[in-house]
Structures are given as C-alpha cells and as structure tokens.
Structure 1
Amino acid sequence: MSELPQPPAVNDLLNLRGRTVLVTGASGGIGASIATRLAEAGATVVAHARNKPERLDDVLAACRERGVQAYAVTGDLATAEGVHHVAEEAVRLAGDIHGVVNNAGLQPLSAVTDTSVTEFDDVFAVNVRAVFLLTQILGNRAAAQGHPLSIVNISSIEGEVPAPHHSHYAASKAAVIMHTRAAALELGAAGVRVNAVLPGLIHRPGIEDGWPEGVQRWHNRAPLGRLGAGEDVADACLFLLSDAARWITAATLRVDGGVTANQPF
C-alpha cells in the first residue's frame, strides 16, 4: 500500500508559483479572467488567441503586473496543425507545461433543422477535437518528462441541459464532459488530472440590453440571483489546477449560481 502524501499547508493550497499554465481563448471574456487570476496565484501564463497577438496585450500586461512571466501564442485550433503549433510554441516559450485550461470555443446559433455539416464540423473541431489533441500532446509529454499535469476543460451546463438553437454546441460540450472522464481514467497513472468546469450564463458587456428577457429569466431561476462573472469561472479553474484539488480528477464542477438545481417542469 502506497504511503499517503502529506497535505500542503493551508496558505499554500492555491499557490501556483513554479508552474506554467496554458490558457486557450485568452484574449477576452472568461479566458482573460482565467489567465489573470492564475497569474495572481503565481503561475507563469501562456495565453492563446486564434490570431492577432496584439489582442493579448492587455491580458499579458495584467499578468505581468502581478509579477509573473507571461507569453502569447497564436494558432487556429480548428486544425490539427494549429493545435500542434500552439502546444509546441507554448513549450518552446515557457518550458514544461503543468496546467492547461481548454477554454477556447465556438457558440453559434442555429436551429437543428438549419445547421449545415460545415457549421457542425467547425464547432466540434474547436470545442472537442482541440481539447482531445491538447490533452494527448501535453499529456504524453508530461508522462515522458515525469512531471504532473492538471487539465481543466471548460464545458457548459448546456452539456447537460440543452437550449434552443444550440444543438451542435450542446452536443460538443457533452462530448467534452465524457472526454474529461475518459482521459482522467487513462492518464491518472501518469500523474495527469483532468477535470471539467461547467459555467452557466456569464456576464458580458451589453448582455442586458441585447437579451433582456433571457437575463431576467436567469435572475428569476438562479438561486443565487445573479449572472456569473469571469472570475467565478476563473476561481473554479484555479481550485482544480491547485494542490487543493490534488485528489480530484474526472470531476465536473458546475459554476452556474445553482440554476440547474431548478426542476425542469
């Protein structure tokens, strides 16, 4: 029987100093909040955007203001070549990768009867295949190098509860949940933990004006009575990447203000 490890001191549980984390889709919204929060915890951050590295300038500046190193990588996660490029560039710039937050994703609106094959494939390429490839590439590398790796996949509550005109998106996020569990099962022996965060409705500028009825419905149904903030998702990622979650893998953590606790009828 293996000896149980000594737990870290409480003050060190969320300390990411000495670790490097790749955050995909970090140029705005939730991704920017995640990158900045991880920097605040001491992590070296590799921030990804699909193109135009200048879109990452504010994120990198915010990370560096917190006293850590931060790097930008660009690449199209819709292609296998682009995913490999992002992984290789992250390693070239920052060395060993100890954490990955698969945050990049597409969320188009299209009725199931109108969605084209191309639209469907585009969503799955970014939302699912890129997650699989980064897990495979960096999981294999971590196992070969002998260092631990924690992967956090950003799924959605729509992976469990679909919404109209989101069939392809909801299906892709359900796939992410199952891929998370399968990867955790296979990679645990190599010291790789894989977990998923399922955000609910997250505030973005203008959402109250653009979708007032939806925001009001959310306020009425969410037990905690508000929209989520990017930092709410970021803190869930921080927890799962940290030593506070050292014996947690294959988990799905809902970050939705409790809205999915409501009865569906």
Structure 2
Amino acid sequence: MNGSAGRNSETRAIVTGGAQGIGFAVAEALADEGCRALALIGRSQEKGDKAVAALKKSGVDAIFISADVAKVADCKRAVDTAIAHFGTVNALVNAAATSARGSLVETSEELFDTIFATNVRGPFFLMQGLVAHLLARKAPGSIVNVLSMSAHAGQSFLTPYSTSKGALMTLTKNVANAYRTNRIRCNAVLPGWMDTEGEDIVQKKWHGAADDWLEKAEAGQPMGQLVKPAQLARLISYMVSPQAGVMTGSLVDYDQNVAGAGAE
C-alpha cells in the first residue's frame, strides 16, 4: 500500500500561488493524498478557474480566491473566505513569490518594497490569520513556507529577493517555536533552480534566454535536471500532513548543489 495514501485526508488547506507552478503541484499532491478541501489563492482568475476545475474532477471541494498577497487586506480576506467556505482550515502553504531581479546598487525603493510585501509581509499575515483561527479552536495545524536556496546567500542580481527569503526563514523558525505547544507546526523548503512557468518567463525577460534555455540549463546540472514542481510537492505534502509528526522549525534544502561546498 502506498504510504502516502490518505495521509492528508484531514487536511483543509490554503495554498498561495495555487493556480500554477509549485502551488498547483502541491494542490495536486494534497488532493492525491486525500485532501478534499483546498482554497487556491492567486491573481489570475482564468488560471484559478482552470486549476479548480482540474481538482474538482478528483472530487475535491476546491475554490479559487483572487487575491494579491502583497496586500494585507487581501491576505486577511483570503483566510476569512476560506474559513467561511470550509468551516475550518488547518493548513497553509505559502508558495506565492516574486523573484524580480535587483542587485544592491540597482534596486529601487519601490522594487525592494514590492519584493518584501509579496515574499515576507504576505506570508506573515496569512500565517497570522491561520494561527489565530487555530488558537481560537484549540486545534493543531501545519504551515509550510516555500523559500529558496538563495536564502543562504544568493546571486548578486538577487539581493532583495535573497534577503526576503532569509527573512521568511527566520519567520518560519520564530513561528515554529512560538506555537509548538499549541501543536501548530511551521516548516520550510528551500528549492534550488526550478523548472516552472514562472522561471521560463524570468529567464526570457531578465536574461534574454532562448527557447532552448531549459535543455541547456539541465545539461549543466549535476543530476541532469532542474527541480521539478511535482517532485518538491510530495515533500511539502508530507510536511503538511500529520505523518510528519513533531517536525517543526525545519528548513529543508531541496537541491542537487550543497550549500557551503566549494567547487571541485
């Protein structure tokens, strides 16, 4: 019997960035593992409708909430909407993010604020909403934040992005420690270079990449591939589930390159 079968049958989750990429892959994994209540948060109603339709075919009560996580009011509305629809929610996956480019000397105040609003402030207030709900119910719950290997340092053109992921890393640890006696777990994954729709846009917009950039990028990786959303999603769905036991405050590097290792 598949050890993952049914492990999220009691999970009622909010997934940000849930209409595409990592977020939708997580939603699919949760659904495959028995989750029947999923609220996807994103900005594109069109993508959201497609994602919800796909999940409903699997018997999931899925809803799409159009919201911009960079706006605190949207974050609060999204959590309230999900709770109102499902009656209760006990899990949150913060997958939405912006990876806009900017070095230390090139980053404008506006860009800095946009990145931190999306990558730090949004997850902060989404977690606030879920945790307050769980505390009021005296119920256990689970949060997984999607960070990046860039949180360890990051490239020179990712200064504000890397810094925002470092802030979310500390926030993950802080929340894990603060609510462990309430049985509310908070963990994070730090994926390396990923093959997503968003990355394709980034490579072409910021780096002038050709259509075959993925093939070339994967050829240069130690394991011959970039991180695939469906692979990462199964780790996240495990961390969300009760099967993860007492796991909290964990930061899991998910990459083929080891942080701190020098060039061979």
Q: Does 1:46 align with 2:45?
A: no
Q: Which residue of 2 aligns with 1:245?
A: 244
Q: Which residue of 2 aligns with 1:202?
A: 194
Alpha-carbon separation, structure 2, partners of 1:13 and 1:182: 31
**Contact 1:193–1:248, Cα closer than 8 Å, also in 2:** yes
* Per-residue deviation, residues 110-130 of structure 1 (Å, max 9, x unmatched): 222111011001100110011
Q: Which residue of 1 aligns with 2:104?
A: 112
Q: Does 1:155 align with 2:147?
A: yes
CA shift, 1:14, in A, is: 5.5
Q: Does 1:92 align with 2:88?
A: no
**3-state DSSP of counterpart to 1:123:** helix
Q: Which residue of 2 aligns with 1:259?
A: 257
CA shift, 1:243, in A, is: 2.1
**Contact 1:40–1:63, Cα closer than 8 Å, also in 2:** no
Quote the RMSD (CA, aligned, Å): 2.3
Alpha-carbon separation, structure 1, partners of 2:212 and 2:173: 36
- Amino acid of the structure 2 residue aligned with 1:244: Q
Q: TM-score, normalised on structure 2?
A: 0.88
Q: TM-score, normalised on structure 1?
A: 0.88
Equivalences for residues 116-265 of structure 1 within 5 A = 116-204=108-196, 210=210, 216=216, 219-222=219-222, 224-256=223-255, 258-260=256-258, 263-265=261-263
- Amino acid of the structure 2 residue aligned with 1:240: M
**3-state DSSP of counterpart to 1:77:** coil
Alpha-carbon separation, structure 2, partners of 1:248 and 1:14: 19
**Contact 1:150–1:194, Cα closer than 8 Å, also in 2:** yes
**3-state DSSP of counterpart to 1:101:** strand
* Per-residue deviation, residues 4-49 of structure 1 (Å, max 9, x unmatched): xxxxx98467521132110001121111111111111111211111
Stretches of 4+ moved more than 2 A in 1? 9-14, 204-222, 260-265
Alpha-carbon separation, structure 1, partners of 2:224 and 2:101: 26
- Amino acid of the structure 2 residue aligned with 1:210: A
* Per-residue deviation, residues 71-129 of structure 1 (Å, max 9, x unmatched): 11111211211111111111111221111000111111122211101100110011001
**3-state DSSP of counterpart to 2:258:** helix
**Contact 1:219–1:227, Cα closer than 8 Å, also in 2:** no
Q: Which residue of 1 aligns with 2:62?
A: 70
Counterpart selection for 1:58 from 29, 36, 50: 50
Question: Closer, same or farther in 2 for the Cα pair 1:182/1:262, shift >3 Å?
Answer: closer
Question: Closer, same or farther in 2 for the Cα pair 1:23/1:93, shift >3 Å?
Answer: same
- The more displaced of 103-112 and 150-159 is 103-112
Question: Closer, same or farther in 2 for the Cα pair 1:32/1:245, shift >3 Å?
Answer: same
Identity %: 26
Alpha-carbon separation, structure 1, partners of 2:189 and 2:25: 14
